[in-house]
């Protein structure tokens, strides 16, 4: 039984080292090969953690307790399941939920401030650049106020109609000037 525990501990440690050193290469080589294992809790990190915990717990329980092999085996399995669940709920699931996406909806741009890149005529279309997340997006825009907006002017997106941003020139009110 001790051989099984040592094999699990060594296998889990070896998996950890190999995945750190060769993780990206293995991921690209095996891309899509293990998609049938797409059950959430069967992530390699969870399985490897549980197997390693099983081996380590089995070794420690066998060496430092007077329990029989059935009790040691049962406790090692319980510890492995608990640690695997802790890894899943404490690391894997939160990381899966924290994916960053560069996608956005045009409706999300309402209220954003941007800059005119191509002048917008009073009754026509131009282009504006608006900051979205960590980048910028250029979008077709029209004047909300039916006024000319020159290139380089700061604008605010009022709303979106038919995939066109309706913008207004962003101006500080006359009573809002700062006095030095």
What Å distances lie between residue 87 and 25, 73, 80, CA to CA? 24, 21, 10
Task: Give per-residue pLDDT as tens, 77-126.
Answer: 999 999 989 988 988 788 776 656 667 788 889 999 999 999 999 999 99
Whether pLDDT at 30 is above 70: no
pTM greater than 0.85 (yes/no): no
d(CA 124, CA 141): 9
Q: Please tell me the predicted confidence (pLDDT) of residue 40.
A: 62
């Amino acid at each position: 039984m001790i051989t099984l525990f040592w094999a699990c501990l060594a296998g889990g440690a070896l998996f950890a080292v190999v995945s750190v050193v060769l993780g990206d290469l293995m991921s690209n080589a095996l891309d899509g090969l293990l998609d049938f294992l797409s059950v959430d809790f069967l992530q390699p990190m969870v399985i490897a953690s549980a197997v390693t915990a099983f081996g380590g717990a089995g070794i420690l329980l066998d060496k430092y307790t007077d329990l029989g092999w059935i009790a040691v085996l049962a406790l090692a399995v319980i510890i492995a399941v608990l640690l695997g669940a802790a890894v899943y709920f404490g690391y894997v699931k939160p990381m899966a939920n924290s994916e960053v996406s560069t996608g956005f909806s045009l409706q999300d741009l309402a209220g954003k401030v941007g800059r005119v890149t191509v002048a917008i005529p009073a009754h026509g279309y131009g282009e504006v650049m608006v900051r979205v997340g960590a980048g910028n997006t250029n979008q077709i825009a029209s004047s909300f106020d039916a006024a000319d907006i020159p290139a380089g002017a700061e604008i605010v997106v009022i709303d979106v109609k038919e995939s066109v941003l309706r913008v207004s020139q962003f101006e500080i009110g006359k009573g809002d000037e700062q006095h030095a």
